[in-house]
Amino acid sequence: MFRAEIVWITVFLTVGAIGGLVYNWPSSTEDPAAQSIDETIDPADVLAEQGDEIDDTWPFTDETRENPQSPTVQESESQTDLAADPIDDVWSEISPPMKRTQKIDSAVVELGDRLLLGGNYEGAMKHYQKLLQTADVPTDNGILIRLALASELAHEHDDAIKHYRSAIRVVEKGSVAQANCLLGIARVWENRGQFNDAASLLSELYLIYGGTKYPQLLRAQLVSQLSDCLQKRVLSSQIVIDALQNEPMEYYWPAVTVDHVLELVDWEAPVDGLSTPPSQLQVLQSPNKDASVVLVGANVRGLSVLGLLTEIERGSGMVFNLTEKAKTDLVGRMTNVQTTAMPVSFLLDSVLESMALTWSQSEGEVSVMHREELADRDLASYDLARTQRMLRQVQLEVEPGPRRTAAIMNEGNNSRLAGGWEEARTKYQMAREQTPMHELSAKLYFNEASLQLADGEKLDALNACYMALDQTLTASLEGDVYAMISELELELGQTDKAILAGSRGLRRATEPAVLSRCAMMLARAYLLTEDPDSANQVLFDQSPHIVGDATQRVASVFSSFARFQRNPSRGGLQDEGQRLVMALATLKPNDPAGFADALIVSQAYASVGIRNKAVESLKESLAKAPKGFWSERIRLELARAQYGAGHFDAADETISNYGQVSIDLLPTVLLLHAKIKFDAGKLEQCESICRRIARLEVDQTVQAEALNTLGMVLNEKGQHYAATLCFAGVLPEPVETTSSHANQGVVVP
């Protein structure tokens, strides 16, 4: 990644695009390197050599460009070399005699615009290039910007930068067209992943073009691009990436609105021009010493950043504390600001961005520090807070539509990252009230489902997932949605539907994390439906996509357990039991992520005879299990494991804590309860439970087993004839000596 300041020196300062704003290196009259820069990049000389005259209407005149101290020798030499090199752009390809003054036929330009609006970017590029190659057509800034936009949309980034730079050299300084070109360059940098460079340029543009004297469409596009760039930088942080692994969310960035860019290309300035107020910096309001509510109005040219902070201190009463590294970086740095009213928080965000500085406030004191001085988590928090401020500005500047709706939704996502779930719900509801359509609506449904799932509202989350699936056309989002559907269906006990959703998600997923998630969900569902062959096949096929050390260890247990169920007794290298024990030994306590993992791990322990570990895993699974289907079955498994280990009292307590059981599982639970009571020597209670089972409409196998247990109870009590009837499949009448206060069992349907 090249340094942004080098580009600004060689391009923007060459044509006076941003004046002393971008990178005012200090220089002294005795520094030959600094003098060579100034002599090389004089805009009037550059254009005069090619037969053009330049109209200096840029509001920041040369008088405002100060000459502070010189930079380091290495930086001066590198910048001098770059400034002296010729710029490879359209001006290098067109000789002066080819530049005409007559107007271009609007019908010809309109044809290229229709191609551009229709999505035929290659065709638009060729059309605009023909216009530039025609001898009787001037190098028109409108055509150059259109050609740059077409190249940008066609992902020809190098050509786009080249044409935007060419357009900057012919447009009026400080004009809307110039801002349009700079926004295009920022978009190209953002598309290349150069978020710091793009954010730095857009921040400085915001200080100049964010005022009300410029068209609202330009301001809206500027804040939208800046918010998008800041958001993408936040999402590139490893801390945020790890957080999104546990709580997936979808962000949305609307595509470039071509007709808006074309409208800015052809925008005409007022007859009286863009008025420039007198140079001043004034604190408009300061109800308290909070940077977010202190407003300043400014029109300053070439003011040092340290001087700017001093002026704010004097007018607002706030105190600025700078670290030594921040002070060093601010020496000789200057800025230009034009705004009628701007919060100090926005001013600090924009001014400090190009110098890689950050700020924080505690009561009336503002601390300024370098980004390198912050820990990763603190830096991510700062970037997140700044993004939130700009997203709220988008909602103020942008008219109702997809971009505003996306800003609301993205703000809700960021609130969740910061732990504000209630605020996220409010933002999602506000975004839904904007009636989004198509992909934006699908992503909003997915985010709502993710939040509902975290809140335990599983049926609502499942409905939102199917709504998202109905509206999305993006394969990656379909993979995410199917992974969530598979998880929800599994929690609701619909293992067949979980397998179907997991299989579809596996076919559509594009990212390794989603592939891993779908593969693991599919393996869980297969193992819980007693299909170990399919589970092993899925894990084998998707093993390269299983991400995360903990997930890989759990996947190893799953695959070994699946193979062990098919080949339990082979020795040597094919001893799957030995492999399963080794895989279980590598597990760490927190590796099983949910109830299903803990349940399968407990089954694996039980299969190799490690009963105490099996019981521990079942208890962990029961604690994590959702109420209903799985909670009942895991409790039953736990009671069986405790009963098999001879822990009758613990097994009795586990079943007694059921409270209520679904009607289809009730006979099985009662039968196990009866066996526990019998082996514990509680014959009266066992008889009562057995008679209750016999009176239910249950399967004959269950009824026969209940009568057999009852027969053993009666035989122990000396009622041999009644016991014989039970063994014959007949329920005898109860004997009057049975205690009237016998426990009838606490389990109810």
Model pLDDT for residues 173-188, shown as the tens digit of each residue? 888 889 999 999 999 9
In this predicted structure, the answer to whether residue 4 has a pLDDT above a threshold of 70 is no
How many Cβ atoms sit within 10 Å of the Cβ of residue 485?
Answer: 26
CA distance linking residue 88 with residue 76, whole number of Å: 22
Between 44 and 150, the more confident residue is 150
725: Cβ contacts below 8 Å, ≥ 6 apart: 711, 731, 732
The Cα–Cα gap between 580 and 605 comes to 9
Note the pLDDT tens digit of each residue in 335-364. Answer: 989 888 899 999 999 999 999 999 999 888
Q: Between 258-265 and 141-153, two packed helices, what is the crossing angle to 10 degrees?
A: 160
Q: In whole angstroms, what is the distance from residue 294 CA to residue 289 CA?
A: 7
Strand 357-362 versus strand 334-343 pairing type: unpaired
Counts of helices then strands in the chain (DSSP H, E): 36, 6
Tens of pLDDT along 68-111? 333 333 333 333 343 334 445 544 444 333 444 446 667 778 88
Tokens representing 537 are 């096949």
Rounded to an integer, the average pLDDT of 377-403 is 93
pLDDT, residue 583, reads: 92
> What is the per-residue pLDDT for 247?
84
Q: For residue 727, what pLDDT band results from cuts at 50, 70 and 90?
A: confident
- Please calculate the CA angle 596-448-526 and round it to the nearest 5 degrees: 25
For residue 216, pLDDT beyond 50: yes
This model's pTM is above 0.85: no
| CA gap 413, 424 in Å, rounded | 6
- In the numeric block, the tokens 């819980």 are attached to 528
pLDDT band at 740, cuts 50/70/90? very low
Report pLDDT for 136. Answer: 54
pLDDT at 60 over 60: no
Q: In 3-state terms, what secondary structure has residue 518?
A: helix
pLDDT, tens digit, 9 for 90 and up, residues 464-494: 999 999 999 999 899 999 999 999 999 998 9
Residue 271, classed as helix, strand or coil, is: coil
Q: Is the dihedral of CA 454, 457, 458, 461 positive or negative?
A: negative
> What pLDDT score does 526 carry?
95
Long-range contacts, stretch 10-13, CB < 8 angstroms, 24+ apart? 10/79, 10/82, 10/83, 10/85, 10/87, 11/87, 11/165, 11/168, 12/168, 12/182, 13/41
For residue 449, the model assigns a pLDDT of 94
pLDDT exceeds cutoff 70 at 223: yes
Which of 222, 225, 227 lies closest to 338 in space, CA to CA? 222
The mean per-residue pLDDT over the stretch 721-740 comes to: 75
CA angle in degrees (0–180, nearest 5) for 480-247-483: 25
Listed range (65-69, 266-270, 273-277, 302-306) with the worst mean pLDDT:
65-69
Give the type of residue at 701.
T
Mean predicted lDDT score pLDDT of the chain: 81
Phi, psi of 59 (to 5 degrees): -60, -20
What is the amino acid identity at position 128?
Y
pLDDT > 70: percent of the chain? 81
pLDDT at 367 over 90: yes
Q: What is the residue type of 309?
A: L
Q: Which of 6-15, 445-454, 552-561, 589-598 has the lowest mean pLDDT?
A: 6-15
Alpha helices in 49-89 (DSSP H): 73-84
**Can you give the pLDDT at residue 278?**
67
CA distances (Å), 336 to each of 79, 202, 205, 327, 654, in order?
A: 22, 14, 10, 19, 73
Q: Is the pLDDT of residue 3 over 70?
A: no
Q: What angle, 0 to 180 degrees and rounded to 10, lies between the N-to-C axes of helices 549-566 and 576-586?
A: 160
Task: Fill in the DSSP letter of residue 148.
Answer: H
Pull the structure tokens for residue 94: 């067109």
**Tell me: the pLDDT tens digits for 543-594?**
998 988 999 999 999 999 999 988 776 655 557 888 899 999 999 988 998 8
Distance (Å, rounded) from C-alpha 179 to C-alpha 176?
Answer: 5
pLDDT confidence band for 50 (50 / 70 / 90): very low
Give the span between the Cα atoms of 43 and 581, in whole angstroms.
76
